[in-house]
Amino acid sequence: MAMPEITDGGGARPSVRQEDRLWIERIPAPYWVAGVILLIIPAFASDFIMFQIFGWTFILGMIATSLMFLGGYGGMVSLAQMSFAGVAGYMVAIFGDSAIDTISMGWPWYITIPLALMIAVLFATLIGWLAVRTEGIYTIMITLAIAAAFFYFTRQNYDIFNGFQGFNSVFPPQLFGVDWRRPIPFYYLTLFWATVTYFAVLYVSRAPFGLALQGVRDNPRRMAALGFNVTAHRVAAYAFSALIAGMGGILLTWQSAQISPGTVGIQPAIDILIIAVVGGMRHPVGAFIGAFLYVILKTFAVDFLIAVGLSGDRFQLLIGLGFLLVVFFSEDGLLGLWEKLRASRNRDPLTGEVRQ
Amino acid sequence: MRAFAARHPIWSAILGAFALILLYLIFAIWPEWLVDGIGRKKVFLNALFNGITLGGLYFLVASGFTLIFGLMRNVNLAHGSLYLLGGYIGFFIADSTGLWLLAFPVAFIVVGVLGVFLQITVFRRMEGQDLRQTLVTIGISIVMADLMLWGVGGDFYNITPPRWLSGPFETGLVTSQRVRSSGEVVTSYLKYPSVRIVIFAASLVIGLAMWLVLNRTRIGMLIRAGVDDRDMLSATGARIQLVFVGVFFFGAGLAGLAGVVGATFQSAAPGEDIRFLLASLVVVIVGGMGSIPGAALGALLIGCAEQFGSVYFPTYAVVLTFLIMVAVLAFRPQGLLGRS
């Protein structure tokens, strides 16, 4: 993935103002590299790598980006993002097609998908309105409790959510004659939406709303004194994050072709937090880095554990220890470590001053 | 109490009426229409007793949580794991020595020492960084959960209480009165497991002792001052790190103690850690974070809601407790007894 250095592009030619160059010249080199690599991966990767590893990375990365947006720009660490994703996934299964035809209504995709996203956003607005009544550290407790409540509710409710079983055979629509669940189309589908998410979050973070949100994060009192509606900004941040998480949730449902209470349980909710924190909450790219690591670990940890002589069940231990190490040594995940490394490389070892 | 009544006359009236109805339901012999309406009195009384005793257990878990949170602003999401660890330790002590009572101090001390270890090696390094501490506790809980699963496996462990506690206890409360065809009046009384009553009494004693220590001793004064303003307290020369370590020891130890109780009541198994973590979260959110009386009230409410819920609307019993939490958050975000 590209490293977050948008402004570095003009460094090579200081005489030319950035605005004078064509837009295509202003795209920094890392974006070119990452973009080309991601576009040509299907040429040499196997179906498993495309569908399972990259598809899943992009999906989890999107859901983690929604948390990164809330946590990084809004200062609200929410554990309910997986529930928002789950609501959208469930709604697609309920309004669209699934094997449970007593509940699923079989409506066409152009109604179900917007409807599912809308319901997810509404749900998140409600939850956000509840959660922002408390601040900082309390938010994490309240959203954890809400995620648990949603999990138990879906497990107990058989009329709408089909209880323990959930829904299976939820497939993406056959649009333009393409089966979107084939590895290559699915790869590009998830890549497309992950890219949209990435740039949407970057755009919003620099738009007036995002700047105001960061102001609210840093000093809510001052923002309130300046005339900004602090609560409204926070709730709106929840709504926007649910839009991203909802997209991720729909793709996740299509990828595994099913959704059940296990998808929205407490463990997945915590996994999303781990992904976002390990990657780093300062920039959306962190969420995707974290997701990639998580997926790699989840896929290959069993082999690794068996190779070092432990049983493959100790996967959680590996995840937990890795998470602990990253949180312990860095305030801002892997991105924070990277920044630290660069800062120390730019520093003169004798005087400790920053080199020009 | 009088001040409360003067300030909130309507609420006092509602609470008083509620208490009267509850007393009537407990002591009266239920008339036919009531039995037709909400079922037999025995079911009701059992749910009530189960709720209250479960509340006692929740109080033990949540009070340590809320104490640590109130003083150190440390949301210890590994609290559930400490609880489960206490349960396992209690089981193996009780199983190997046959002494049920010995399990309590051992679990208390071992888990308390683990808490002190965590406080010194982990949390002290990141003091003032609330969010990072919370994230670290999540990591610790994941690691502990997996280590315990590795160590003892996924079986259910249940501590059998000693024989002198295993029988039923005659409460003397009438559950029903029937007139036989022979004209003889048969009165049946509620029997309740005595171990639950003893444990509830013990948690009551612990709660009272905590209240006394907090409000009547010098250490309690230090802790209360720390809850109000930690920086000011350390500026006055109090050795605040020592207070932190002591509170962490006690709070974690309580979780371990509660683990033994929980393993006697129900069982110790993987997944119980998350369950009790969630229960104590909900309890302190409802009761008010950092408040011991709040934890007691919250634990009672949540315990009763869970038990009545599972008897009267079994499908959504778990959701009911969260509904209470949502209602409290919506109308009183600082919790019932919390200070804003």
Per-residue pLDDT tens for B239-288?
888 888 888 899 899 999 999 888 888 888 888 888 888 888 888 888 88
Please give the pLDDT value at position A121. 92
A142 touches chain B (CB under 8 A): yes
Closest-CA distance, B33 to chain A, in angstroms, reads 31
Count of Cβ atoms closer than 10 Å to residue B270 Cβ? 16
| pLDDT confidence of residue A261 | 86
- Say what the pLDDT of residue B148 is: 87
Alpha helices in chain A (DSSP H): 29-44, 47-48, 56-68, 74, 81-95, 109-131, 137-156, 183-206, 208-218, 220-225, 230-256, 266-279, 284-307, 315-329, 333-345
- SS3 for B106-151, per residue? HHHHHHHHHHHHHHHHCHHHHCCCHHHHHHHHHHHHHHHHHHHHHH
Q: Which of residues 242-281 of B touch A (CB under 8 A)?
A: 274, 278, 281
**What tens digit of pLDDT does each residue of B192-248 get?**
788 888 888 888 898 889 888 888 888 888 888 887 787 888 888 888 888 888 888
CB contact (8 A) between residue B318 and residue A156: yes
- Give the pLDDT mean for B73-93: 88
- Among A57-71, A153-167, B29-43, where is mean pLDDT lowest? B29-43
pLDDT (average), residues B32-53 = 79
Torsion of CA A303, A307, A308, A310, to 10 degrees: 60
The string of pLDDT tens digits covering residues A17-41 is 556 677 777 777 777 777 777 777 7
Q: What is the average pLDDT value for chain B, to the nearest integer?
A: 83
The percentage of chain B sitting over the pLDDT mark of 70, rounded to a whole number, equals 97
pLDDT at A327 > cutoff 60: yes
- pLDDT tens figures, A279-325: 888 888 888 888 888 888 888 877 777 777 776 677 778 888 888 88
Q: What is the pLDDT of residue A7?
A: 45
- pLDDT for A122 equals 92
Percent of chain A scoring above 90 in pLDDT = 8
pLDDT band at A8 (very low <50, low <70, confident <90, very high): very low
Rounded average pLDDT over A68-92: 88
State the DSSP H helix or E strand holding residue B234, giving kind and residue range, or none if neither: helix B230-235
**What ipTM describes this predicted complex?**
0.74
CATH numeric code, B40-331: 1.10.3470
Confidence band, pLDDT 50/70/90 cuts, at residue B340: low
Residue of A nearest to B315 (CA): A156
- Give the per-residue pLDDT at A355: 64
Q: Is the pLDDT of residue A195 over 60?
A: yes
Q: Say if the Cβ atoms of B318 and A323 lie within 8 Å.
A: no
- Please judge whether B329 and A134 are an interchain contact, meaning their C-beta atoms are less than 8 angstroms apart: yes
pTM: 0.81
Q: Do A327 and B122 touch (CB under 8 A)?
A: no
> Residue B114 has what pLDDT?
92
Domain chopping of chain B, boundaries: 40-331
pLDDT, average across residues B161-178: 73
Q: What is the pLDDT of residues B13-34, one digit of tens each?
A: 888 888 888 887 777 777 777 7
List CB contacts of A352: < 8 A, sequence separation 6 or more.
none
Return the pLDDT at A17: 58
Confidence of residue A12 (pLDDT cuts 50, 70, 90): very low
Counted across chains A and B, CB pairs separated by less than 8 A come out at: 99
Residues of B in contact with A270 (CB under 8 A): 138, 142
For residues B256 and B279, is the Cβ–Cβ distance under 8 A?
A: no
- Domains, chain A, with CATH or none: 43-296 (1.10.3470)
